Structure 1
């Protein structure tokens, strides 16, 4: 069977992260949503997404396909229902379509003609940006169970101080000495070739993916996920970094989501709680206004390729778009549009030519290139976000 993940109705709720990727490629827990479904189904899965993303993320369609709403994370019960889908059947959760059987000849889908299979089990779904960090603990546990089932951890050096050692799993190539890990409150997963430096203090649930590092003396509170090729230091609490991003130095980052190729300058601090303890309002791209979230804690949402300079301060619940460059004293606005350059003193447009030059240098340090596909996506985001800037 051919499986295809589709963005679903919550794509715009997940901006700025879905400016540059399908919903399926959001990381929550240890794996991306696509990687979770692929492991459960034992199959490579493609996506159907926005036209401007489709060259980088193409869809492969067969005569018979099962379409899966990428906002829903797989578990054994749900995967069994999806595997067993037949023609003109669909899986629903309340009024949401989770998955359905489709032929390549079907131009329009009328779910009124489908046999509805109601899924009444527990499932993690991602409808808002803040779900990525607020549901991360559950997602880490599910991925930990999936990745470690039937396997044995690599040995842990005796120089480390470990609580809940049965709940700690190390992949091959890990370097970790004189660190303190507490897995009594949740699992700790350490990926291939990760470096945990001396004096690091880590509480689960925590996951760090391949080729990433935790710097000396870092304080990490769960539930936190550090994606591949990232570096973290300072104080971090309930954060998800997607990949290739750095928060290497002192400073606080909490209840936050950071995209790919981001960098936070030394002593950057991000508030995650209002002084009056009031409910958080967060920029909503759909309504183009600040919307209520029901949250008391929320830090920063930062899109791909954005950067901030040393000693940057961010207010509670700040949304930063794609390829923004923030610096200077004072607190910048709590919504910083994509391709903005500046800070509290004012913003100008960060032209794509300059943004591409910076991205190429950053990516070359990891032996990667900013491709023509990447540039085309970023050019499109530049135009989509123009209305938010004062060009």
Structure 2
């Protein structure tokens, strides 16, 4: 069977992260949503997404296809129901469509002719940006079981101070000495060729993905995910870093989501709690206004390729778009549009020519080419976000 992950109705609410990727390629827990589905289905997947993303994330359509809403995080039971779908059957969880099976092309589907099946058990559904960190605890636990079932961890070096060893899994090539790992509150996963440097203190649930690094003396509270090839230091609490991003120095990051190719300068801090303990509101690209989150703790949302200078201070509930460059003293505004250059004193437009020069250098350091496809995606994001930059000048 051919499986296709589609963005679904939550795509706009997951901006700025879905400006540069399909919903399926959001990381939550240890794996991306796509990687989870492919493991449960034992099959590769393709994608239905925005036109400007489709060259990098193409759709492969065959005679028979099962379409899956990528906002749903799979579990074994859900994956089995999806695999069992017959032609013109659709699986629902409440009002949300999970998946459907079809031989029709995308333009010809008539859901009034479909048999509706219900899935009523609890499942993870990613609808808002803040779901990525607020549901990361459950996602790490599920991925930990998925990745470690029937496998044996590499031995934990004796220099480490460890609590609850059966909840700790070390992949091949990982390095850690003279650290404290406390898994009594949740599992700790250390990925292939990752490193936890001396003096670091980690409380689970925690995921350090392949080739990622925890710097000397870091303090990390779960549930936190550090994506592949990322570097993290200082104090981190309940945050998700997608990959290839750096928070290499002291400073606090809490209740936050950081995209790919981001860099937080030394002593960057974000507030995750308002002084009056009130509910945090967060910029919504869907309503073009600030939306209630229902959360008391909510920090920073930063899209791909964004950077900030040393001593940057982000207020509670700040949203930074794609490829923004923030610097200077004082708190910048709570919504910083994509391709903005500046800080508390105001912003100007960060022209793509300059932004692309930086992206090329940053990616080359990790032996990855900044391709024409990548440029085209960022050019499209630049055009899509023009209207918000006017307000930021």
Judge same fold: TM > 0.5, yes or no: yes
What is aligned with 1:190?
A: 190
Following superposition of structure 1 onto structure 2, how do residues 267-346 of structure 1 map, counting pairs within 5 Å? Answer: 267-346=267-346
Distance 1:150 1:122 in 2: 25
Deviations 1:280-309 (A, max 9, x none): 110000110111111100000000000000
- Deviating 4+ runs (over 3 angstroms): none
Distance 2:378 2:56 in 1: 12
**Does residue 238 of the first structure (1) align with residue 235 of the second (2)?**
no
Distance 1:4 1:342 in 2: 40
Return the TM-score normalized by structure 1: 0.99
| Structure 1 residue 106: Cα displacement | 5.8
CA RMSD of aligned residues (A): 0.7
SS of structure 2 residue aligned to 1:389:
helix
Return the TM-score normalized by structure 2: 0.99
Following superposition of structure 1 onto structure 2, how do residues 357-368 of structure 1 map, counting pairs within 5 Å? Answer: 357-368=357-368
Distance 2:238 2:355 in 1: 29
| Structure 1 residue 249: Cα displacement | 0.3
| Structure 1 residue 96: Cα displacement | 0.7
Distance 2:302 2:275 in 1: 22
What is aligned with 1:383?
A: 383
Q: Number of residues paired by the alignment?
A: 391
Distance 1:268 1:369 in 2: 28
Distance 1:311 1:352 in 2: 25
| Structure 1 residue 112: Cα displacement | 2.1
What is aligned with 2:48?
A: 48
**Does residue 212 of the first structure (1) align with residue 212 of the second (2)?**
yes
Deviations 1:85-137 (A, max 9, x none): 00110100111100000114463322221111100111101000000000000
Distance 1:102 1:206 in 2: 39
What is aligned with 2:78?
A: 78
- Runs (5+) with no aligned partner, structure 1: none
SS of structure 2 residue aligned to 1:86:
coil
Distance 1:221 1:178 in 2: 18
SS of structure 2 residue aligned to 1:78:
helix
Distance 1:304 1:128 in 2: 17
What is aligned with 2:177?
A: 177
Q: Is 1:77–1:121's contact at 8 Å kept on the other side of the alignment?
A: no
Task: Rate the CA distance shift 1:133–1:106 in 2: closer, same or farther, 3 A.
Answer: closer
